[in-house]
């Protein structure tokens, strides 16, 4: 069938044609936004799960929902080579520039001045300008160099400006497990102050399954600051809808045997559903899509995953790190004790610490709890077992 009209779109953060199975998360966020606008308390959100389950897509929908209500929104990604301070400063400039106007109230002018000081603490080159004379405005003070203090000052003044504008402030952080310990502490401390003072602000964090533990290690009260939502693979009815609904809108049907092939291979993971759906659509001659089409689509989809999603991660590992991954793959995609991985390699846990730390830093594995390890991408163990020994 025509690849131009293909409704399936695998990609990092790529929104699917049919976002299914996430209604509860979206509703919870919308309710929190409405409560904040009414001056009522609401907890910020933490989304956690493996790669490919749609956390970034959800976080982007959070952004759209907040923007549709006129909120000041900053969406950033940790682990990109920028500090959280740099990323937030860059992300806030455009929405604040949109609000800057000669008739701006005192609290908005104060927030603009504070945002300028927050960014000035990163660099003095290429100074921002909001096109307003802020020389007489109060504010500033977000340039002490202590992130915990500066972030709280920034959020306080932006939240006050949001109230003046009858909206709110949303700070969304993707790949939050890559924040430094100082940054995690600052986010938790600021979220705590937000709740204590009923500021008009919500945080939205997305990351790997280790994120709740890392937040708790940053601040012991973190479990009371956020609502935690595990984003997992889709149940079979929802996975079916993710395949059927986009095709149906284009007048294309799936035969039951074709659906069964894709559903069995994808195991409910949204990224895999999109990859297999895309390839199957492209090889199918006509509607309805059959099991023969689906089997060929799965074969092509698996090759695409091997050469892209999996290969890119495998090739980032050194020879020693690949040996560690091979040992971990013996347990499939399940969480494995670090001691078992070491024992199979004839090594001690401590001697493998550097390799383990490097693999976590590269995003190939994560530590769901102390003394345990697992792959960040479902299906990685199968890929590794298919790789020839060096």
**Confidence (pLDDT) at 370:** 86
**Of the candidates 173, 172, 138, the residue with the CA atom closest to the CA atom of residue 156:** 138
Check: CB of residue 66 under 8 Å from CB of residue 248: no
- Residue 131's pLDDT is 64
Rg (CA), the chain: 23
* pLDDT at residue 331 in the model: 87
Per-residue pLDDT, 98: 87
State whether residue 53 is helix, strand or coil: coil
Q: Which pLDDT does position 10 carry in this prediction?
A: 92
CB 215 within 8 A of CB 224: no
* 3-state SS class at 303: helix
The whole-number pLDDT of residue 381 equals 95
Tens-digit pLDDT profile for residues 260-305: 999 999 999 999 999 999 999 999 999 999 999 999 999 999 999 9
Tell me the pTM: 0.92
Indicate if the alpha-carbon torsion angle 387, 308, 359, 367 is positive or negative: negative
365-366 and 336-337: which strand pairing? unpaired
Sign, Cα dihedral of 84, 377, 375, 55: positive
User: Other CB atoms closer than 10 Å to residue 12's CB: what's the count?
Assistant: 10
User: What is residue 209's predicted lDDT score, i.e. its pLDDT?
Assistant: 93
Domains and CATH numbers, the chain: 23-230 (3.40.50.300), 234-313 (1.10.8), 319-385 (1.10.10.10)
The whole-angstrom separation of Cα 132 and Cα 130 is 5
pLDDT < 50 regions, the chain:
125-126
């Amino acid at each position: 069938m025509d690849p131009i009209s293909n409704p399936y779109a695998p990609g990092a953060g790529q929104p699917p044609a049919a976002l299914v199975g996430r209604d509860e998360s979206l509703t919870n966020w919308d309710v929190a936004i409405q409560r904040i606008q009414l001056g009522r308390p609401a907890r910020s959100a933490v989304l956690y799960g493996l790669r490919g389950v749609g956390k970034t897509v959800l976080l982007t929908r959070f952004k759209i929902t907040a923007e549709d209500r006129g909120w000041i929104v900053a969406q950033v990604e940790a682990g990109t080579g920028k500090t959280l301070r740099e990323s937030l400063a860059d992300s806030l400039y455009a929405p604040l520039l949109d609000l800057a106007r000669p008739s701006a109230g005192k609290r908005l002018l104060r927030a603009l001045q504070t945002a300028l000081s927050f960014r000035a603490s990163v660099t003095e080159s290429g100074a921002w300008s909001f096109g307003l004379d802020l020389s007489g405005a109060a504010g500033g003070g977000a340039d002490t160099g202590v992130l915990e203090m500066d972030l709280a000052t920034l959020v306080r003044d932006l939240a006050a400006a949001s109230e003046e504008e009858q909206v709110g402030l949303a700070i969304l952080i993707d790949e939050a497990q890559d924040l430094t310990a100082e940054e995690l502490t600052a986010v938790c401390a600021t979220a705590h102050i937000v709740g204590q003072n009923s500021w008009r602000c919500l945080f939205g964090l997305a990351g790997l399954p280790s994120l709740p533990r890392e937040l708790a290690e940053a601040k012991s009260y973190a479990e009371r600051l956020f609502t935690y939502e595990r984003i997992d693979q889709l149940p079979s009815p929802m996975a079916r809808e993710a395949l059927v609904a986009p095709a149906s809108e284009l007048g294309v049907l799936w035969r039951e045997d074709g659906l069964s092939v894709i559903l069995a291979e994808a195991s409910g993971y949204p990224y895999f559903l999109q990859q297999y759906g895309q390839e199957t659509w492209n090889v199918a001659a006509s509607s309805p899509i059959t099991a023969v089409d689906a089997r060929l689509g799965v074969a092509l989809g698996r090759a695409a995953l091997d050469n892209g999603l999996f290969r890119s991660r495998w090739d980032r590992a050194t020879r020693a790190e690949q040996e560690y991954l091979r040992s971990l793959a013996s347990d499939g995609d399940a969480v494995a004790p670090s001691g078992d991985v070491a024992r199979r390699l004839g090594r001690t846990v401590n001697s493998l610490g550097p390799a383990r730390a490097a693999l976590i830093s590269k995003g190939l594995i994560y530590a769901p709890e102390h003394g345990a390890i697992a792959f960040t991408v479902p299906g990685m163990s199968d890929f590794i077992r298919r790789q020839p020994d060096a």
